[in-house]
Structure 1
Amino acid sequence: MATAVIATIGEDRPGLVNELSELVVRLNLNIEDSRMAVLAGEFAVLMSVAGEDALLDELEQQLTALCADSGLAHLFRRSTQRAAEDTLACQARVTAMDHPGIVNRIAGFFSSRGINIRELNTETEHAAHTGTPIFNLTLTVELPAHTNAATLASAFEAFCDEHGLDGTLRSD
């Protein structure tokens, strides 16, 4: 069984998910994992599709044609599963008044410690009474086996305090 990761983006409209998933099903392939969201009016799709090599080749060709007809941009990349590592998953949550650089600072904190970010989601909302833009971030990191989760959580909270962020890090 082979796997490919597909990314598509285009103007949001009804039926996009149906068109993409129909193409996959018609080729007898399986969507194993996906993320889909409207961001600034554009519909973005990430999906992992599994099946026979020849069918994935056909998917790549048909996806190119579909995207050309639909005005979508896309990427198609063959993938291999990473070997399982001895890691501990932890979730971080950060809230702050919105300003540039928050994602970069958080990513830098983990990167400087050799910690992989597995998933990251952000959104901005407005405070109910003041209308102030509030930034919310949630992420999942993979701690190497030798990392002390409690020590890292304390360091992360201190880092957040230092940068005017309200942040926590918890293990599963």
Structure 2
Amino acid sequence: MLIQTMTPSSRAPLQALARRITDAGCNLADARVATIGTDTSLTLLATGAWDAVAKLETALTKLGRDEELRLVHYRTGPREREQDSHRLPYLIEVISADRPGILVKIVDFFDRHDISVEQLSSMRYQAMQTGAAMFQAQFTIGIPAETHIAALRDDFLEFCDGLNLDAIMDPVKF
């Protein structure tokens, strides 16, 4: 079961949700927490037997009545491993002066090359020395196994040079 919440940071429900998952007889298989602005977003994946998942659904419905908690949950299935095994995991890091549209252009590049974005974290910040508005993004991507990596890397770095982005592309090391 996939569970997503948004709430003010002072009321982040991680402990309450983790407890309900355990009390229902499920396991917390994956968890992502992000504080953005004054709010916290949680994305949780709970697994368990059908009756435990049903019990968890009931508990989440009750919890979702809290006015300050935005909660969505639904049953999801396992990811197809065969599809994943044909994709190579790579890490992309990009830094540049901030300007509108950078993220859209990068995602469009990946889309045109049939590259899946598996994880993304981006933010704006001010440079310490100059105070300039900066943009930083970190992607974990899945590259089709039949793709020629050196050619893709050259295309990507040329694309980044054209946009005046500082970027690296390295394989994910586990």
TM-score scaled to structure 2, two decimals?
0.91
Task: Quote how far apart the aligned CAs of 1:61 are.
Answer: 2.1
Select which of 2, 5, 11 maps to 2:2.
Answer: 5
Partner of 2:93: 93
Give the superposition deviation at 1:103.
1.5
Letter in 2 for 1:52: A
What does residue 125 of structure 1 align with? 125
8 Å Cα contact 2:126/2:132 also seen in 1: yes
TM-fit CA distance, 1:14: 5.0
Residue 4 of structure 2 contacts residue 44 of structure 2 at CA under 8 Å; is this kept in 1?
yes
Where in structure 2 are the equivalents of 1:1-172 lying within 5 Å? 4-13=1-10, 16-69=13-66, 71-84=68-81, 85-172=85-172
CA distance in 1, matches of 2:154, 2:72: 39
Distance in 2 of aligned mates of 1:10 and 1:51:
26
Report the residue type matching 1:16 in the other structure: P
- How far, CA to CA, are the matches of 1:103 and 1:59 in structure 2? 37
Q: Distance in 2 between matches of 1:9 and 1:69?
A: 12
Moved more, 104-113 or 71-80: 71-80
Alpha-carbon distance between aligned partners in 2 of 1:79 and 1:130, rounded to the nearest angstrom: 47
SS in 2 for 1:81: coil
Letter in 1 for 2:32: R
Hey, what's the Cα distance between the residues in 2 that align with 1:57 and 1:72? 21
Aligned residues: 169
Q: Deviations over 1:90-138 (max 9, x none)?
A: 1100001112212111110001111111111112221112211211101
Q: Cα RMSD between the aligned structures?
A: 1.4
Runs of 4+ deviating beyond 6 Å:
none
- Aligned pair in 2 of structure 1 residues 171, 19: CA closer, same or farther (>3 Å)? same
Between stretches 66-75 and 42-51, larger displacement belongs to: 66-75
Consecutive unaligned residues in structure 1, runs of 5 or more = none
Aligned-partner residue type, residue 78 of structure 2: Q
Q: Is the 8 A contact 1:5 1:78 kept in 2?
A: yes
| SS of residue paired to 1:69 | coil
1:82 Cα deviation after fit: 2.6
**Between the two proteins, what is the percent identity of the paired residues?**
26
Partner of 1:79: helix, strand, or coil?
coil
